Amino acid sequence: MGELAFRNITKRFDKTEVLRHIDFQIEDGEFVVIVGPSGCGKSTLLRIAAGLEDQSEGQVIIGGTDVSLAPPAKRAIAMVFQSYALYPHLTVEGNMSLGLKQARTPKDVIKERIAEATRILALEPYLKRKPGQLSGGQRQRVAIGRAISRHPQVFLFDEPLSNLDAALRDQVRMEIADLHRRLGATMLYVTHDQVEAMTLADRIVVMHDGVVQQIGTPRELYKTPANTFVAGFIGSPRMNMFQGQANSGVIRAPGLPPLPLPEGTALSGPVTVGLRANGLDLHPAPGAGADTSEVVDIDYLGNVCYLRLTLPDDATMVVEQRPDHPFSLGDHVTVTVQPEEVHLFDPEGLRI
Amino acid sequence: MFRTSARQNPLRSSALHLVLIVYTLICVAPILLIIMNSFKSRRGIFGAPLEFPRGETFSLEGYETVFTIGNFPLYFQNSLIVTIVSLLLTVVFGAMAAFALSEYRYRGREILTLYMILGLMVPIRLGTVGILNMMAAAGISNTLTALILVYTAQHLPLAIFVMSELMRQVSDDLKNAARIDGLSEYRILFRLVMPVMRPAIATIAVFTMIPIWNDLWFPLVLAPSEETRTVTLGAQFFIGQFVTNWSAVLAALSLAIIPMLVLYMLFSRQIIRGITSGAVK
């Protein structure tokens, strides 16, 4: 009942296409996160779902009804904005009730809905205050409360955590995750932050240049990225990418040991090799050589260390190590690759 | 920054105040002169124009003349009606036009904006003959309506220009949240956007109201009859070709300052906030 479907959505501003043939469906009760770099069209897509922007082509279906031409208030959606967007002249209570009053909801129902939202988000002490008297985290909770009180079929979140500082961001993120578990509502969430995407989502939609790159669970995206963009975008630190040549069952890339091709693939020609920082092993080397790399930087993060290496051909590579690793700056090392952690992409960037 | 450096250096601070005080005196002097002399007899005005009214020079004859000979309460009423109605129309229509120009995307918007702003560059008095013909043809010459229409048209461009620039700064998220809550575009404009822009609107109000109140040209051309005469035009009544009743003129002008002073005080807090909002944060 609370599904949200995009049917072949295209959006043009003048002549530039910002969205191209977006076509996917969010199931009832599912939490889907759209993630991508800024300018990829993710916010535009969300605004089209809300009815704040018109699509140039295609349909938006919410709960089985085609709402492509319906105004925002008639779409059974609620939206939470990055800048909170609370009405400055109304109290917290007024902010939550305005939409309901506007829809001519009976008074006792309004009261009930507000009491429910207040209980869920523990807003009781703030009901009579105005937004100006609240902190950033509280304001965002009120904005979420306003969304809850509407009892929408679909919740839309537009980068709701971006204006909060790091500590609050984690806290509100967990509250949103709890909220999804408790309400079981359909949620569509836009962010550029892959940590938010990975932790909150049932499924992630990765977008780039107005095109959906891949849709899948966080695990699928991390384990089997569909192309080099997704491979580079998901996962931190960034996946190491190298240009190489496949020939007679072996891939050779400058600075890397020869890599065996996966069983059963006969491939030759240029390929892109993707290696995550945690799929690599380091071994001390006695000195500089044709197949050794130099440690040029060490980032100590407490639980892990990231070592930046300069390969013999001057490319760089990031390798994850345990914090008690024996290496120090300037050391020469040889790199070996765990074969199951090798990602291969063809010259078009598609996964092989 | 400025405040702290001024506080640290008393010499600089007092020099600054000296300059400001001198400037204030220069600005206030003519007004003070008018008010002072309005309380003097004719002989007093010409005998000692720079002195405060004293024993023999003090006289209320100017005010007596104004209230007995002229029909000043009516003139005041006319001026107030014209000023306030023009002001309201300018702000309401200016806001609506500015919202349409800044909020929506449609074909021809740039041309339309330019057309609206063009009014800033055309001196409206050049069109006096045309306006006069138009009002006569419409049968509304010698009415307050004629004045209100002209003043509204005259001050709309500036209002639209200032407000459309400011409306772009009002958060899109806020307007969108209201759309999702089902508010109409009119309510979004008048209940959400306009209250946020209160300081700007107060500034526009003052810049609209003072020239309208002070205007002599259009009342003279469009509404010179006794029933539609405004204060500025009424004061001319005492300026004759050969004899001018100065105490009455000055009394009329002194009285004319009062309503503007009251309105200015009502708006001033908002204006100061509007002027300093960009500078001091």
B72-108: pLDDT as tens digits: 888 889 999 999 999 999 999 999 999 999 998 888 9
Per-residue confidence band for B4, with pLDDT thresholds at 50, 70 and 90:
low
Strand A65-66 relative to strand A77-80, pairing: unpaired
SS3 B60: coil
- Cβ(A234)–Cβ(A222) below 8 Å: yes
What is the Cα B116 distance to its own chain's centre? 21
For residue B195, cis peptide bond before it (omega within 30 degrees of 0): no
Nearest to B204 by CA among B255, B175, B161: B161
Selected for mutation to probe chain A from B103, B175, B180, B184 (highest A CB count within 10 Å) is B180
CATH 2.40.50.140 placement within chain A: 243-345
What is the Cα A167 distance to its own chain's centre? 19
> Are the Cβ atoms of B179 and A84 closer than 8 angstroms?
no
Q: How far is B28 from chain A (nearest CA, A)?
A: 39
- The pLDDT value recorded for residue B7 is 55
- The pTM of this model reads 0.81
- The pLDDT value recorded for residue B277 is 54
**Mean pLDDT, all residues of chain A:** 91
* DSSP count for chain A of H helices, then E strands: 8, 20
CATH 3.40.50.300 placement within chain A: 4-233
> Are the Cβ atoms of A88 and B176 closer than 8 angstroms?
no
Compare A85 and A290 and report the one with higher pLDDT: A85
Per-residue confidence band for B6, with pLDDT thresholds at 50, 70 and 90:
very low
- The pLDDT value recorded for residue B96 is 95
Q: Which residue of A has its CA nearest to B175?
A: A85
> Taking CB atoms and an 8 Å cutoff, what residues of chain A touch B178?
87
Q: May I ask the CATH architecture of the domain B72-276?
A: Orthogonal Bundle (1.10)
In the numeric block, which tokens belong to residue B175? 């307007």
> Are the Cβ atoms of A81 and B173 closer than 8 angstroms?
yes
What pLDDT digit, counting tens, does each position of A66-119 carry? 999 999 999 999 999 999 999 988 999 999 999 999 989 999 999 999 999 999
> Are the Cβ atoms of B174 and A85 closer than 8 angstroms?
yes
Q: Does A335 touch chain B (CB under 8 A)?
A: no
Does the pLDDT at position B208 exceed 80?
yes
> Are the Cβ atoms of B176 and A99 closer than 8 angstroms?
no
Nearest to A156 by CA among A242, A249, A47: A47
Does the pLDDT at position B13 exceed 60?
yes
A87 vs B180, B182, B192: nearest CB: B192
> Are the Cβ atoms of B182 and A79 closer than 8 angstroms?
no
Angle at the Cα of A11 from the Cα atoms of A6 and A13, rounded to 5 degrees: 160
Residue type, A88: P
Topology of the domain covering A4-233: Rossmann fold (3.40.50)
Sheet with A332-337, strands from edge to edge, namely A280-284, A332-337, A293-300, A305-310, A316-321
How many Å apart are CA B31 and CA A118, to the nearest integer? 59
Nearest to B97 by CA among B176, B179, B157: B157
How many Å apart are CA A248 and CA A268, to the nearest integer? 7
Q: Which residue of A has its CA nearest to B187?
A: A102
- The pLDDT value recorded for residue A167 is 87
Does the pLDDT at position A51 exceed 90?
yes
Residue window 54-93, chain A: list those with CB within 8 Å of chain B. 71-74, 77-79, 81-89
Does the pLDDT at position A52 exceed 90?
yes
Q: How far is A98 from chain B (nearest CA, A)?
A: 7
> Taking CB atoms and an 8 Å cutoff, what residues of chain B touch A85?
171, 173-174, 176-177
- The pLDDT value recorded for residue B171 is 87
Per-residue confidence band for B281, with pLDDT thresholds at 50, 70 and 90:
very low
SS3 A338: coil
Q: Which residue of B has its CA nearest to A77?
A: B180
Report chain B residues touching chain A, CB-CB < 8 A.
Answer: 171, 173-174, 176-183, 191-192, 195-196
In the numeric block, which tokens belong to residue B125? 């008095």
Does the pLDDT at position A155 exceed 50?
yes
A102 vs B173, B183, B195: nearest CB: B183
The CATH code of domain A243-345 reads 2.40.50.140
* Secondary element (H or E) of residue B106: none
For chain B, the domains span 1-59, 72-276
Written as one string, the DSSP assignment of B206-230 is: HHHHHHHHH--HHHHHH--SGGG--
CA count, 13 A, side-chain hemisphere, A244: 28
Q: Which residue of B has its CA nearest to A155?
A: B180
